[in-house]
Structure 1
C-alpha cells in the first residue's frame, strides 16, 4: 500500500514529541521558527536550507538538519521539483532536562542549525521515525528517542565517557527489577528506572546495554516474557497473564511471547515446546 503524501504522528502518552513524513512534496515554506527542537531528514530529491551557515545550503538524500528552538529557518525543494522528508519536533523543556542529565550545555535560543552527513545517524533517525509510526509501546518509543538524542549529543558535544559505576548501577537496577511483583514490573518506566539507578536516561540506556546487551525496554520485555513462562506453567489463563504483565491486549502478548520463545503462549501452556 503506497504511503500517503503526508503523515503526522503524535501520542498523548508521549506529549513531548511529534513526527511528520512527506512524500514527493512540492510545498514551499517561508522563513519561520518553532518553539521545539526540530530534526529534519532528506529522504529523496534535493532541498535548499537556510538557517545554518550564512547563505543557502544544498541538501541531498541522507542529510539530517538539527534546528534549535526559535532558530529561524526555511527548507524548500528545488524549483519545479519534489522531495521527500521526515520531521521530528521535540519539546524544548523536555530536551533541556534530558541534556542536563547528561551534562550537556543547552543551546541558546537562535543558535545556528547543524547539518549532518553522518549516514549512521541518518539510519538511526529513520529507524526512530519508523518506530514512532508503528504500534510499538510508548516505553520503546521513548527509549529510542532518548537514545537517538544522546547519540547525537555524544558526538556533537563530546559528552563524558561512561564510568564503571554506571554499569554497576545498571546491574543493581536489574536485580531490583527482578524482585518486583508482576504489576510493578509491568508499570516500570524509563524515568522511574533512571531515578532509581541515579543516572540520566541516556546514561541508563547506554550502561544497561553495556552491562546486559539490551536496552532497559528490551530487558523489561524479556523479563515480562520470562515471568509469563512461570505464570503459564502454573496454569494461569492467557488473558490473565497478559493483564498482569501489562501487555496492551492478548494479541500483543502473543506476538511478543512468540518472538522471544519461538512458540505461542497457548502452546507453551499446553506443554507444546
Structure 2
C-alpha cells in the first residue's frame, strides 16, 4: 500500500497546522522548526534523534514534544513503514496560552489516555466542526500535556551559542545565502574550526542550518501561494528541482503536496 499524507490548515486558526501520514517510508534529515511541534506515532516503530545524534526509541502510542528551534529527526526503522501525526503550533501563541509547555528540551510521553486525546483532537481539526470547537479541543489537549506526569526528557536540548558564533547566526538569518569563507571571517575562525564549533552549538553545520532556514521560509511562501520557481529563485536554490529535493528531505513530502 503506498503511503499517504494529508495536511490541515485554517485561516481562522493560524496558530496551528496539522499533518497525518499513513504507511510512510519518508525519512527526514536533521532539521528544526520555528514552531513547537507534537508528534504521535500511530503504527510501526521509529527512532527520535536529537541534535547531537543521541537516539530514543518510539513505538505506537508514543507522543513526542519538540520545542521551537530544537534540531531533531524522527524516522522509521530501516525497511519498515510507519504512521504518524504531527501538530505544529506558533511558539508565541503557545507561550501566551500554555507557557508550561515552552521547554528547552524535547520530551516523550507514553500515556495511552493522552494519545487517545491527541487522536480525537486531531480528527476534529480535520473535520467540518466549527472553529471554536477545534480551538477548545486543542487547548484542552495542550493543558493535559502540560499537566502530564509521564514525561521523559530527551537528550536534545539546545546549547548556549558562543559569542563568536552570534554574528554567523545573524548573517545566516539574512539573504542571500552566505559562503563558508565569509562566515569563517565573521567568526574569526578557520572554516574547519567554524564547522566544528557551529555543529557543537546548533546540531548542524552552517550549510545544513542555512538549508533548514530556507525550507522553513519556503513553507511560508507556499502558504502565500507563490510559484515554486519564484520561491527557488528568491531563496537562492539552483533551480526548482533543487528546491524540491531539499524540501522533501527536510519535510518528508514534496512542496506541491505540502501546499495542498
Q: TM-score range by the shorter chain?
A: 0.5 to 0.7
Are residue 121 (structure 1) and residue 114 (structure 2) matched?
Answer: yes
Q: Which residue of 2 aligns with 1:28?
A: 27
Q: Which residue of 2 aligns with 1:144?
A: 137
Q: Which residue of 1 aligns with 2:126?
A: 133
CA gap 1:156/1:94 in 2 versus in 1, 3 angstroms? farther
SS of residue in 1 equivalent to 2:114: helix
Gaps of 5+ in 1: 158-273
Larger Rg: 1
Gaps of 5+ in 2: 151-260
Q: Residue 7 of structure 1: CA displacement?
A: 0.5
Separation (CA, whole Å) in 1 of partners of 2:110 and 2:8: 25
Are residue 75 (structure 1) and residue 74 (structure 2) matched?
Answer: yes
Separation (CA, whole Å) in 1 of partners of 2:52 and 2:135: 31
Whether contact under 8 Å (2:3, 2:24) holds in the other structure is: no
Q: What is the number of residues matched between the two proteins?
A: 151
TM-score by length of 2: 0.54
Q: Which residue of 2 aligns with 1:16?
A: 15
Q: Which residue of 1 aligns with 2:148?
A: 155
Q: Residue 70 of structure 1: CA displacement?
A: 0.5
SS of residue in 2 equivalent to 1:96: helix
Deviation sequence 1:200-226 (CA, Å, 0-9, x none)? xxxxxxxxxxxxxxxxxxxxxxxxxxx
SS of residue in 2 equivalent to 1:89: strand
Whether contact under 8 Å (1:52, 1:113) holds in the other structure is: no
Q: Residue 60 of structure 1: CA displacement?
A: 0.7
Q: Residue 51 of structure 1: CA displacement?
A: 2.3
Q: Residue 99 of structure 1: CA displacement?
A: 2.4
SS of residue in 1 equivalent to 2:119: helix
Whether contact under 8 Å (1:17, 1:88) holds in the other structure is: yes
SS of residue in 1 equivalent to 2:98: helix
Question: Displaced runs of 4+ in structure 1, greater than 4 A?
Answer: none
Are residue 38 (structure 1) and residue 37 (structure 2) matched?
Answer: yes
Deviation sequence 1:31-75 (CA, Å, 0-9, x none)? 000000100000011111112897211111000001011111000
TM-score by length of 1: 0.52
CA gap 1:105/1:84 in 2 versus in 1, 3 angstroms? closer
**Greater relative CO (CA pairs within 8 A, separation 6+):** 2
Separation (CA, whole Å) in 1 of partners of 2:118 and 2:6: 16
CA gap 1:24/1:96 in 2 versus in 1, 3 angstroms? same
